[in-house]
Amino acid sequence: MFMPVGTVASVKGVPQEVLEELGVEILLGNTYHLYLRPGVELIRTLGGLHRFMSWPRAILTDSGGFQVFSLSDLRKVSEEGVTFRSHLDGSSHFFRPESAIQAQIEIGADIIMAFDECTEYPAERERVRGSMELTLRWAERSKMYFEEHKGEVPWRSFRPTQLACPDEASGPTCSEETQALFGIVQGGMDLELRKESAERTRGIGFAGYAIGGLSVGEPRHVTREIVEATVERLPADQPRYLMGVGTPEEIVDYTNLGIDMMDCVLPTRAARHGLLFTSEGKISIKQAQYASDQAPLDPLCGCRVCRRYSRAYLRHLYASNEILAQVLNTIHNLSFYLDTMRAVRHSISLGRGARFLSEVWSRAKP
Amino acid sequence: MFMPVGTVASVKGVPQEVLEELGVEILLGNTYHLYLRPGVELIRTLGGLHRFMSWPRAILTDSGGFQVFSLSDLRKVSEEGVTFRSHLDGSSHFFRPESAIQAQIEIGADIIMAFDECTEYPAERERVRGSMELTLRWAERSKMYFEEHKGEVPWRSFRPTQLACPDEASGPTCSEETQALFGIVQGGMDLELRKESAERTRGIGFAGYAIGGLSVGEPRHVTREIVEATVERLPADQPRYLMGVGTPEEIVDYTNLGIDMMDCVLPTRAARHGLLFTSEGKISIKQAQYASDQAPLDPLCGCRVCRRYSRAYLRHLYASNEILAQVLNTIHNLSFYLDTMRAVRHSISLGRGARFLSEVWSRAKP
């Protein structure tokens, strides 16, 4: 599955009913952003994030570790946790594994993440080992806190009507439902440390496992090597989640390596910059060649944008800096990613292997 | 009818399929903006504005006169026409009645407007008379040019499939269809000049009549007085269009005075500033009082925003400067305006008078 990123409880420009129509089954929310605005306490009071943003399907929240690493100017890491400054107003905050889990319990996503340190790149081996060990200790603390407090999710007492209890015979009753906590593998670009991190994280025991600390500036072949070596150390019968990846080609490739879940800002962010993914390759809609092009953006795409609008119109909206450009471009790119993943799942369900998927993909490119 | 404003071939932030769902029957496009970007020639080549923006329902374009008046820094009016500078790049352009009509024929809206001079406010009586006389001469030239060239609309030879020919027995064949040209009444804030302008414009003969040059800074009671005096000099069996007006209260009021058509940026522009029209009055969604308000924006509204999202969520989107705030707020405000006009039409169809409409309106306000 591919998870669109809805940083502050919104996939930028796209109403939730359109996300449903696109077939989005799970959204990613950013704990760091939600903690700063509108604040965790408010979300909890209003019954949790599903109810707050009117999203009845699944949500995953990250732990805030990556945003503290990438967005905060001043951060200070200690054994206890991380002091950081808000990118909004410069105010000072402290996240520890326990508070990051507490925040995620109050937000109430279906899947939440252990608090980790995202190791910078490049880094010396000793630094990477130290950071990995810290992440492992934080993983233990995250799990311990979660086990003690997992009953405190806001929706156990405050379940929105559209999220009706499943049939009690076929699953847990609402009152027994809790979130799923995933661990995060770190270890920089060091294959041995990655394997060790995977095995020791697995030893702590989580509902699923993420591979973090990639796409931080390293070459693409290194990312792939790390993923390949790490994923085989993670249990195949539990979700394996590669964080912050990638292009359409990459998400197919990583699926074939055994990855079950991915998220990335690429489809949504690229859309806002006029970069559109199509079955004929990537299109920069601002280019003059599209000014009088009456073809749909992607003739093979059935999304509401390709069914109705021409490249000429989309190019005009972008050139005129119209809000609708961001809206329509984002809808199309998400549709393309979700179609890609649907094709991957369909192919898997037919028992066809990695090679087939890659071939389909290559054929679709110019 | 109320016409949402789609300045450069888009109602900011709202896809055309949502406008259809809202029940928008006619959109306004701005000739001045479309002339500058994407350009009239491009729109003509692509089959006209309906096809370019994928909008199968009606469109009205203004003549550009008001935008030249309000947006252009340097403009110079002569008998022949207006020299003005583009607000985009400062380039110099010249509009004369003939070229404004030519541009509107190439854009291909269903209703187009004569080229007029929007008199500034305040102005001396002699200046207002001179300006009104100029608008009358331009109205004659507009009509003459239109009559000679009305067969040149792009869709006569290039009709998009979704705009299928009506049944030939019940109306003109496609090949005979032309646009409707409306005249514009000017005359500043002078009741006598307005009456004279109305009668002489009527004398030239148009398919419909607009009242222009209002909402340019004059007090509201003056606007109303001018409308009341002007509308009764215009034929009741042809469309009477009040340009650039107004609040929900005003559009009901003007309908009761005999106005058939209105357009205004207010619902869309206010939405982008977080000002929302509801049956309980105007709401500024940025206010802290809405931070944890779980009620829908307007409990009496059935639009897709009010059916799904809370005030708390809309407030959060606005406070976080999310694109979705502009999208959802605009959808709601347009829905409110269109609901208002539907109620007005329903009441008219029941044979109920002005008083009733005003009362319904007052009851709905707090």
What integer is the mean pLDDT of A310-339?
Answer: 98
Query: What are B102-120's pLDDT values in tens digits?
Result: 999 999 999 999 999 999 9
Best probe of the B interface among A37, A86, A289, A322, by most B CBs < 10 A, is A322
Query: What are A13-37's pLDDT values in tens digits?
Result: 999 999 999 999 999 999 999 999 9
What integer is the mean pLDDT of A208-228?
Answer: 96
Contact between A115 and A97 under an 8 Å Cβ cutoff? The reply is yes
- The answer to whether B178 faces chain A, any CB pair under 8 Å, is no
Between CA A10 and CA A15 the distance in angstroms is 8
Which residue did the predictor score with more confidence, B79 or B69?
B79
Which residues of chain A make contact with B19, given a CB cutoff of 8 A?
Answer: none
Task: Examine the residue annotation and report whether A263 is marked as an active-site residue of this protein.
Answer: yes
Q: List the single residue in A13, A53, A308 with the smallest CB-CB distance to B327.
A: A13
Provide the token pair at B124.
């001396």
- The answer to whether B53 faces chain A, any CB pair under 8 Å, is yes
- What is this structure's pTM? 0.94
Between CA B227 and CA B217 the distance in angstroms is 15
- Chain-centre distance for alpha carbon A139: 19
Mean pLDDT of chain A: 92
State residue A303's pLDDT score: 97
Residues 6+ apart with CB under 8 A from B89: none
Which residue did the predictor score with more confidence, A149 or A70?
A149
What integer is the mean pLDDT of A332-338?
Answer: 98
Type of residue found at B323: I
Chain A, window 153-172: residues with a beta carbon less than 8 angstroms from a chain B beta carbon = none
Closest CA to B309 of B296, B320, B322: B296
What DSSP designation does A83 have?
A: E
The answer to whether the peptide bond before residue B15 is cis (omega within 30 degrees of 0) is no
- Percent of chain A having pLDDT more than 70? 90
Provide the token pair at B219.
């007090």
Provide the token pair at B228.
């009341």
- Percent of chain A having pLDDT more than 90? 84
Between CA A227 and CA B334 the distance in angstroms is 49
- The answer to whether A15 faces chain B, any CB pair under 8 Å, is yes
Confidence of residue A174 (pLDDT cuts 50, 70, 90): low
State residue A164's pLDDT score: 44
Confidence of residue A68 (pLDDT cuts 50, 70, 90): confident
CA distances from B219 to B118, B195, B226, B255 (A): 17, 20, 11, 19
Other Cβ atoms within 10 Å of A294 Cβ, number: 14
State residue A155's pLDDT score: 85
Contact between A35 and A103 under an 8 Å Cβ cutoff? The reply is yes
Q: List the single residue in A15, A38, A294 with the smallest CB-CB distance to B324.
A: A15
Query: What are B298-318's pLDDT values in tens digits?
Result: 999 999 999 999 999 999 999
Confidence of residue A320 (pLDDT cuts 50, 70, 90): very high
* H helix runs in A112-219, sequence order: 125-149, 191-204
- The answer to whether B17 faces chain A, any CB pair under 8 Å, is yes
Contact between A324 and B12 under an 8 Å Cβ cutoff? The reply is yes
What integer is the mean pLDDT of B79-91?
Answer: 93
State residue A65's pLDDT score: 85
Q: Is it the case that residue B324 has pLDDT exceeding 70?
A: yes
What integer is the mean pLDDT of B160-164?
Answer: 44
What DSSP designation does B150 have?
A: G
Burial state string for B270-296 with b = 16 or more CB within 10 A and e = fewer than 16: bbbebbbbbbeeebebeeeebbbbeeb
State residue B89's pLDDT score: 93
Other Cβ atoms within 10 Å of B150 Cβ, number: 17
Task: Examine the residue annotation and report whether B253 is marked as an active-site residue of this protein.
Answer: no
Strands (E) located in chain B: 2-3, 26-29, 58-61, 75-77, 82-85, 92-95, 111-113, 180-185, 208-211, 240-242, 261-263, 275-278, 281-284
SS3 B126: helix
What DSSP designation does B94 have?
A: E
Contact between B311 and B329 under an 8 Å Cβ cutoff? The reply is no
Confidence of residue A366 (pLDDT cuts 50, 70, 90): very low
Q: Read out DSSP for A161-188? A: TTSPPPPGGGS--GGG---EEEEEE--T
Contact between B110 and B180 under an 8 Å Cβ cutoff? The reply is yes
Closest CA to B142 of B72, B204, B199, B188: B204
Best probe of the A interface among B107, B269, B320, by most A CBs < 10 A, is B320
Burial category of A222 from C-beta neighbours within 10 Å (exposed 0-12, middle 13-18, buried 19 and up): middle
State residue A363's pLDDT score: 55
Q: List the single residue in B15, B37, B317 with the smallest CB-CB distance to A320.
A: B37
Q: Read out DSSP for A41-71? A: HHHHHTT-HHHHHT--SEEEE--SHHHHHHH
Confidence of residue B66 (pLDDT cuts 50, 70, 90): confident
Beta-strand pair B261-263/B82-85: unpaired
Contact between A104 and A61 under an 8 Å Cβ cutoff? The reply is yes
Residues 6+ apart with CB under 8 A from A8: A29, A30, A33, A34, A37, B316, B320, B322
Partners of residue B75 on adjacent β-strands: B84
Q: Is it the case that residue B72 has pLDDT exceeding 90?
A: no
Contact between A138 and A115 under an 8 Å Cβ cutoff? The reply is yes
Closest CA to B73 of B81, B65, B85: B85
Query: What are A258-282's pLDDT values in tens digits?
Result: 999 999 999 999 999 999 999 999 9
Partners of residue B281 on adjacent β-strands: B278
Q: Is it the case that residue A285 has pLDDT exceeding 90?
A: yes
Q: Are A316 and B8 within 8 A, CB to CB?
A: yes
Q: Which of B116, B263, B298, B339 is catalytic?
A: B263
State residue A350's pLDDT score: 87
Between CA A42 and CA A316 the distance in angstroms is 40
Q: Is the predicted ipTM greater than 0.90, yes or no?
A: yes
According to the 3-state scheme, what is the secondary structure of A249-294? HHHHHHHHHCCCEEECCHHHHHHHCCEEEECCEEEECCCHHHCCCC
Mean pLDDT of chain B: 92
Contact between B330 and B272 under an 8 Å Cβ cutoff? The reply is yes
Chain B, window 283-312: residues with a beta carbon less than 8 angstroms from a chain A beta carbon = 291-292, 294, 304, 308-310, 312
Provide the token pair at A66.
């990556």
Residues 6+ apart with CB under 8 A from B153: B48, B105, B108, B177, B178, B179
Confidence of residue B141 (pLDDT cuts 50, 70, 90): very high
Which residue did the predictor score with more confidence, B352 or A92?
A92
Between CA A11 and CA A54 the distance in angstroms is 13
Chain B, window 326-345: residues with a beta carbon less than 8 angstroms from a chain A beta carbon = 326-328
State residue A161's pLDDT score: 45
Between CA A308 and CA A87 the distance in angstroms is 39
